[in-house]
Amino acid sequence: MNQSIIKALSLLDLFTDSRQELSLKEITEEVGLPKSTVYRLLASLEYSGFIAKTKESENDSRYKLGLKLMELGFLVADQLELRKIALPHMKKLASEINEVVHLVISNQNEAVYIEKVESTRALRLHTRIGKRSPLYLGSGPKLLLAYMSDERKNLSLEEIQQYRKINSLTFLKELQQIVEKGYAVSYGEQDIGTIGISFPIYDYKRKVIASLAVSGPTSRFEGENMDFIKEMTAITAENISQELGFKDIQKWNHSL
C-alpha cells in the first residue's frame, strides 16, 4: 500500500460539520506528523481539488474540503439511484427469461458490473458485483465503448493490440454497428461457450450511462428464444431509461 496516499486521504476525515475549516497548525497537531509533511500532503490534495485553501499567511494557512469531493459524491449518488431504479426491472426480466442479468457502467476506463440478478438454472455464469472488465471485452463493456468518443475507442484499440493481433478497421466497424443496431452481442469473449447481449440505458440528458447485459450458455440463445430474449431485454432497458428521465424513445432501434 502507498502510505503517502493513505496519510493524505486520512486528512480528509478531520473535516466535519462542526469543523468545516481547519488550519495547518490544527491539522498538524491532530495527525501528529511533521508540519512539513502535512503541508506537502495538503498541497497534493489541493492540486487534485480535494482540498481548497481559504487563507494563507506567514504564520499559518486554513483549508476546507474541495469541490472535487462534491463532484465524486454526485457520481456515487447517481450510481446508487441507477441501481435502485434498475433492480426491480432487472428482477422482472430475469424471471421472464431465466438468465443472469447485469447492470454495467464505465469507471476509470474500465467497465464495472454494479448490479446482478441471478437465474435459477443449474448451469449458469459465476460473476460478481464489482467485477471489472476492459471496455473491449464482452457485450456490456463494448456497448459502453461504442457510445464513447473516438479518442477513447482508439485508446482501447491500442490496449487490445498489446495482447493480440486485431484489425483496427474491423474493430471500429464493430463498434459503429453496435450504435447502428442499438445493441451489442459477444460470443465467448469472457467465458468460453457463452453469449452476451446488451442494450443501452439512457439518462435524462440522452446520454448512455449504462448497459443492461444478459448472458448465458450459447445453447440457450438460439432461434425464437434468442428473439424473445432480445425483445424483453430491449423493453427492459427502455423502461429503465424512461424512469431515469429519458424521453426520446423514438431513437430506440427495434430491428432485432
Instruction: Flag the least confident range among 95-109, 145-159, 174-188.
Output: 145-159
Q: Is residue 105 within 8 Å of residue 235, measured between CB atoms?
A: no
Query: In the sheet that 51-56 helps form, which strands lie side by side, from edge to edge?
Result: 21-23, 61-65, 51-56
Q: Would the pTM count as exceeding 0.75?
A: no
* Distance, CA of 168 to CA of 165 (rounded, Å): 9
* Model confidence at 51: pLDDT above 50: yes
Residue 230 C-alpha cell reads as 432480445
Specify the pLDDT at position 254.
43
* Distance, CA of 44 to CA of 249 (rounded, Å): 45
Q: How confident is the model at residue 124 (pLDDT cuts 50, 70, 90)?
A: low
* Distance, CA of 254 to CA of 230 (rounded, Å): 9
Indicate the residue type of 210: A
Terminal-residue alpha carbon distance, the chain: 48
All structural domains of the chain: 3-65 (1.10.10.10), 75-251 (3.30.450.40)
Residue 201 C-alpha cell reads as 440505458
Q: How confident is the model at residue 21 (pLDDT cuts 50, 70, 90)?
A: very high
Query: Could you give the residue ranges of the DSSP H alpha helices within 192-254?
Result: 223-243
Q: What is the mean pLDDT of the chain?
A: 86
230 SS3 class = helix
* Model confidence at 249: pLDDT above 70: no
113 SS3 class = strand
Question: Which residue is listed with cell 424471471?
Answer: 95
Question: Which residue is listed with cell 506537502?
Answer: 40
Q: How confident is the model at residue 140 (pLDDT cuts 50, 70, 90)?
A: very high
Q: How confident is the model at residue 255 (pLDDT cuts 50, 70, 90)?
A: very low
* Model confidence at 27: pLDDT above 60: yes
253 vs 95, residue with greater confidence: 95
Specify the pLDDT at position 125.
62
For residues 117-155, one letter each, b for 16 or more C-beta atoms within 10 angstroms of the residue's C-beta and e for the rest, the string is: bebeeeeebebeeeeebbbbbbbbbbbbbbbbeeeebee
Q: Is residue 246 within 8 Å of residue 222, measured between CB atoms?
A: no
Average pLDDT over residues 192-217: 93
